[in-house]
A and B are shown apart, each in its own frame.
Chain A
Amino acid sequence: MRMLRAGRWISGVALALLAGVYVRVLAYTPVEASQGLAQKIFYLHVPAAIWAETAMVLVGLASIVYLFTKDPRLDRFAASSAEVGTIFCVIVLTTGPIWGKPIWGTWWTWDARLTLTLFLFLLYVGYLLLRSAVVDPATRARYAAVLGICGMCEVPFIHLSVYMFPTLHPMPIILQPGRPKLPGSMLTTWLLSLGVFTLFYVGFVVQRYALSYLREQLEAAAGAGGIGHA
């Protein structure tokens, strides 16, 4: 219960900070030369994309440790991270076209970064579907861990693919070899946005984790009175 409230509080703070970041984005950050106002969505889109990928990596890491320790908390964390990662994917997949329409003239392009976020989304959906298809909690945790690890190992291949395809998508400006190419105030805004999204991730995961823990308690209480099977 405490955890749930803490999670909500963190998310609330993050939301408020996000509003603050956006004020900065719109009013205090210079407009980018070649792309104009539409470029501003980059501050939302890219941090979300980073966390969408990071969430998958965290799912994978938690899964690896789970297979060794069988600690259900890790499984709960992995599930929460996966759900939050899915949300972030949806954010990217919706903000991408919103940005794309004025710049590229189409809602969807098969450019590398969007396509690969789509793959990430598919990985998450598969993970969540697998979890929902298995009834026994221990088996579910094991299977999810296997899939989570595979998903995490897929991420670097997805990343490499970006560099292999010529694309409409701007090459990564920040996460690329060498120093970030972004000028001062834009970089600051971007970093602030990244910080906000980090808070969002933490807040959502904490909430989701708390909810799933509460649900398990409820199920255990309900099941203890029933007739079991062996």
Chain B
Amino acid sequence: MLRAEGLRHSFGAVRALDDVSFTVNPGQTLAVFGPNGAGKTTLLKVLAGLIQPQAGRAHVEGGRRAIGWIGHQPQLYGQLTVNENLRFWGSLYGTPPSAELLARLGLEEHANRQVRALSRGLVQRVAIARALVHDPRVLLLDEPFTGLDRIAAEALSRLLGQHAAAGRATVLVTHNVEEGTELATDVAFMRNGRFVHFAPRSGRGALQVGEEYRNAIA
């Protein structure tokens, strides 16, 4: 469903991606852990088509229409209401927003409020709704748990679980090993643009993965 082959990309003298290759199949969730500056965001941007890699290829089945992105920025317009935002973004993908989506995220009562009037937790939920409005088959997540409160974090985890169960693919990058491990089917450690570890999770818990990560990165 999602494939990267020999990705290389530098910003000036800084090598952000150094020969990265992997495949993510339907139903798999790849968690990429790495310190800041390892190249994780660049990797996601290349997968999403936002950056053209200097070498190598990234392929997502279904193209941009199949991709949903959740980052630490909500990508919403503050002066528009929740509904207006969802309708606008949906129109770019050719799908009208469904009431069911709002319900799943507990946003029905806020549907006609302007986004800038919402609390941070609510804004995050709207951002998630925005990413899912076109029912994407691939989810790309860039530090999605940043700043989420308990409830929102649990809701997101639940959602990602449902997404994977429905046979979709997910790539999640974060420097927080605890939050990402439980959701992952495959785990990778990234440092200086390379995967220094890439293997199925195989039942390893967050503690164990965290330990291996610290050893690999230190």
Q: Which residues of A contact B (CB under 8 A)?
A: 136-138, 219-220, 223-224, 226-230
By the criterion CB–CB under 8 Å, are B12 and A223 in contact?
Answer: yes
Q: Are A230 and B38 in contact (CB under 8 A)?
A: yes
Complex Cα distance A169/B36, Å? 62
* Neighbouring A residues of B37 by C-beta, 8 Å: 227-230
A-B contact pairs, 8 of them (CB 8 A): A136-B11, A138-B11, A223-B14, A224-B13, A228-B13, A228-B14, A229-B11, A230-B39
> Size of chain B's interface in residues, with CB distance under 8 A?
16
Cβ-defined contact, B13 with A230, below 8 A? no
Residues of chain B within 8 A of A229, CB atoms compared? 11, 14, 36-37
Query: Once the chains bind, are B12 and A137 in contact (CB under 8 Å)?
Result: yes
Contact of B193 with A by CB under 8 A: yes
The 5 closest A-B pairs by CB, nearest first: A228-B14, A223-B13, A230-B16, A230-B39, A229-B37
**B13: A residues at CB distance < 8 A:** 219-220, 223-224, 226, 228
Q: Footprint of A on B, CB under 8 Å?
A: 11-17, 36-42, 192-193
Shortest distance between the CB of B198 and any CB in chain A (Å): 18
In the complex, which residues of chain A have a beta carbon less than 8 angstroms from the beta carbon of B42?
230
- Minimum CB distance partner of B38 in chain A: A230
Q: Which of A136, A227, A230 has the most CB of B within 10 A?
A: A230
Report Cα–Cα, A229/B39, bound state, in Å: 8
Please report the C-alpha to C-alpha distance between residue A224 and residue B40 in the assembled complex, in whole angstroms. 20
B33 CB to nearest A CB, Å: 14
CA distance A224 to B15 in the complex (A): 9
Q: How far is the CA of A226 from the CA of B193 in the complex (A)?
A: 15
Report Cα–Cα, A221/B13, bound state, in Å.
9
How far is B37's CA from A227's CA once the two chains are assembled, in angstroms?
Answer: 9
Bound-complex Cα distance A137 to B17 (A): 17
How far does the alpha carbon of A220 sit from the alpha carbon of B39 in the complex, in Å? 19
CA distance A209 to B96 in the complex (A): 54
Residue of B nearest to A139 (CB): B11
A230: chain B residues at CB < 8 Å are: 11, 14, 16-17, 37-42, 193
> What are the residues of chain B within 8 A of A136 when measuring CB–CB?
11-12
- Find chain A residues with CB under 8 A from B12 CB: 136-138, 219, 223
A137 to chain B: closest residue by CB:
B12
